[in-house]
A and B are shown apart, each in its own frame.
Chain A
């Protein structure tokens, strides 16, 4: 009952906002009509504090840059207004943030969250209230498609886990020439498990052997015992699809334990804190798959890099900055094509995105709401991420 009321209230507001396109059932309310047409309210539900705060803050910076650029001309004369909530890197806070944005602020769409777990926490709210949610960097397949069912209001800007895991496995086989690999996952994270599953499948298909699988739980600090155990299995390569806090500690402790083989992770490693925690030396001979590299010579990327540096005191943008920026343009493109701020029409427009040129690659959406785009492989050399190679989807 309460949900219906919420949805009804939301629908009438969007109607009142000058959208009216032959929809039925929203009769009765016309308050708040004037003034609302000038701005498009976009909710931002990000990890601005807590364990993965650096992702959320980076996305917010990128998104703000994109919004500022888009607002110079506006979308059909309307300007985007961002309404931010901090989900403190916790799933329960992400859910309540989504409730606040949909019911209290009545936003047109939500950007966020940065991690898969916190995005999944918003799915039900978005579906019930019919508000599109775009996760800039949630890479778990289950966000948009779970149990053979499409969450039709959920979108993403990043590629999905299986793709990162597959790329990592191909890289391990063809570039590192690894015959055996070990997998060390964060058992508290959907993201980590997703990458590991895809890596395992592809690595075995490439003729490799998985010699050991171990797990830790986020917030652990002592990994030496497990690393000693991993070392005794003598793998050529270790796949470590965790987040930067633990990944940094693990790489550091691994090197101290005398485990010197290449490590590889996903975009969850991408944070300056990783280098602080692990130390530049320990990170040599480690690789990550990522969405983009600021060292990529592509012209569109270099334009973005210089615009970003101009706005944020010469800071070089990371992948989360780029994804935040792209999410802004992805959404703006859909709103423009929808020709309205009606959530349902924006959803349809998002679905039809094709060959949209963005910083993190030219992308087309597949039927599971997953972008088909390229992945970049970066190597850590003395504490710096160096562009290694770019792998395009087949």
Chain B
């Protein structure tokens, strides 16, 4: 029973990693950039949701939509200002810029509103507790998992069934060839950032509702863990990010369940190292040689 309870704990945590990991993976898939500012977009999304609920007095769904919209715009803004001028620069330059943007958002945010934490109101969503065979399931964890799955399905539809999705896949495959075929590469990249950031915003609101406490540096660790999840699933591959996120959440829950709670964060990064050594393409990745 305890094990099942722990698996449920892990899946709720993993759903949040998965939502953040989706954004990492999409951006990486299309511009081969690890967008380290992604965790901070998640933080901004969480605060936008918080202010929508407390100041504008909105309920869950409108708050979620506002947060996703604001984050989408914010993501595009970051891409246009910070990454676009570096599109043809070396990858290390873009990577360092991403770290710079991340720190700028974190400390810029602290400068503007201060570093004190904020608490989400506890009555945004009902918190019923089900008991099934001695396993207690919180209605919120079911909802989190549900929202994550629904968003991922929508994402799959966008990527595989729409025109913009087709453009994304084309740009991801070969940006120059896509351009020759008349695809607006800049707009496509912006759209990718918008969608990825919107997912991070959704994750931010869900995180706030589930874990209550939010603060300006809250995005750092979940951001890094989501990065691990994306690599675990195979960076650039959308279902991989989802599975990687859930798997990482479960691994963390099991590590704590075994009594090594202090090792939990370390284990997440040990997973990263092991994956990079033994399976650099990730669980879902195709094994293709990259010419350097």
Interface residues of A (CB under 8 A from B): 49-51, 53-54, 88-89, 187, 214-217, 219, 221-222, 224-226, 228-229, 232, 245, 248-249, 252, 256-258, 273, 276-277, 279
Complex alpha-carbon distance, A195 and B115, angstroms: 27
Asked if A225 and B256 sit within 8 Å, CB to CB, the answer is: yes
In angstroms, how far is the closest chain B Cβ from the Cβ of A52? 9
Determine if B9 is an interface residue (Cβ-Cβ < 8 Å): yes
- The 8 A CB mask of B1-22 against A (1 = contact, 0 = none) is 0100110011011000000000
Asked if B115 and A49 sit within 8 Å, CB to CB, the answer is: yes
With a CB–CB cut-off of 8 A, which chain A residues contact B262? Answer: 187, 215-217
Asked if A277 and B116 sit within 8 Å, CB to CB, the answer is: no
With a CB–CB cut-off of 8 A, which chain B residues contact A256? Answer: 127, 129, 136, 138
Measured CB to CB, the nearest residue on chain B to A188 is B262
B175-222 with Cβ < 8 A to chain A: 207, 211-213, 215, 217-218, 221
Asked if A229 and B259 sit within 8 Å, CB to CB, the answer is: yes
In angstroms, how far is the closest chain A Cβ from the Cβ of B262? 5
Asked if A216 and B261 sit within 8 Å, CB to CB, the answer is: yes
Q: Give the residue of B12, B117, B256, B261 whose beta carbon is less than 8 angstroms from that of A245.
A: B117
B102-144 with Cβ < 8 A to chain A: 114-117, 119, 122, 127, 129, 131, 136, 138
Asked if B261 and A214 sit within 8 Å, CB to CB, the answer is: yes
Asked if A49 and B127 sit within 8 Å, CB to CB, the answer is: no
With a CB–CB cut-off of 8 A, which chain B residues contact A221? Answer: 207, 211, 213, 218
In angstroms, how far is the closest chain B Cβ from the Cβ of A40? 31
Complex alpha-carbon distance, A221 and B127, angstroms: 18
Measured CB to CB, the nearest residue on chain A to B218 is A221
Measured CB to CB, the nearest residue on chain A to B16 is A222
Measured CB to CB, the nearest residue on chain B to A276 is B119
With a CB–CB cut-off of 8 A, which chain B residues contact A187? Answer: 262
Asked if B119 and A226 sit within 8 Å, CB to CB, the answer is: no
With a CB–CB cut-off of 8 A, which chain A residues contact B138? Answer: 256
Q: A225 with B252: in contact, given A53-B115, A256-B129 (CB under 8 Å)?
A: yes
With a CB–CB cut-off of 8 A, which chain A residues contact B254? Answer: 225
Kindly state the interface size class of chain B when it binds its partner. Answer: 35 or more
Measured CB to CB, the nearest residue on chain A to B119 is A276
Complex alpha-carbon distance, A89 and B253, angstroms: 30
Measured CB to CB, the nearest residue on chain A to B2 is A232
With a CB–CB cut-off of 8 A, which chain A residues contact B255? Answer: 225
With a CB–CB cut-off of 8 A, which chain B residues contact A273? Answer: 117, 119
Asked if A214 and B211 sit within 8 Å, CB to CB, the answer is: no
Asked if B9 and A228 sit within 8 Å, CB to CB, the answer is: yes
Asked if A49 and B114 sit within 8 Å, CB to CB, the answer is: yes
Q: A229 with B212: in contact, given A49-B114, A277-B119 (CB under 8 Å)?
A: no
Asked if A222 and B211 sit within 8 Å, CB to CB, the answer is: yes
Determine if B153 is an interface residue (Cβ-Cβ < 8 Å): no
Determine if B86 is an interface residue (Cβ-Cβ < 8 Å): no
With a CB–CB cut-off of 8 A, which chain A residues contact B157? Answer: none
28 sampled A-B residue pairs with Cβ under 8 A: A53-B115, A215-B262, A219-B217, A221-B207, A221-B218, A222-B252, A224-B12, A224-B13, A224-B253, A225-B252, A225-B253, A225-B255, A225-B256, A225-B264, A226-B256, A226-B261, A228-B5, A228-B6, A228-B257, A245-B213, A248-B213, A256-B127, A256-B136, A258-B131, A276-B119, A277-B119, A277-B213, A279-B122
In angstroms, how far is the closest chain A Cβ from the Cβ of B139? 10
The 8 A-B residue pairs whose C-beta atoms are closest, nearest first, are A225-B256, A276-B119, A224-B9, A225-B253, A279-B122, A221-B211, A277-B119, A226-B261
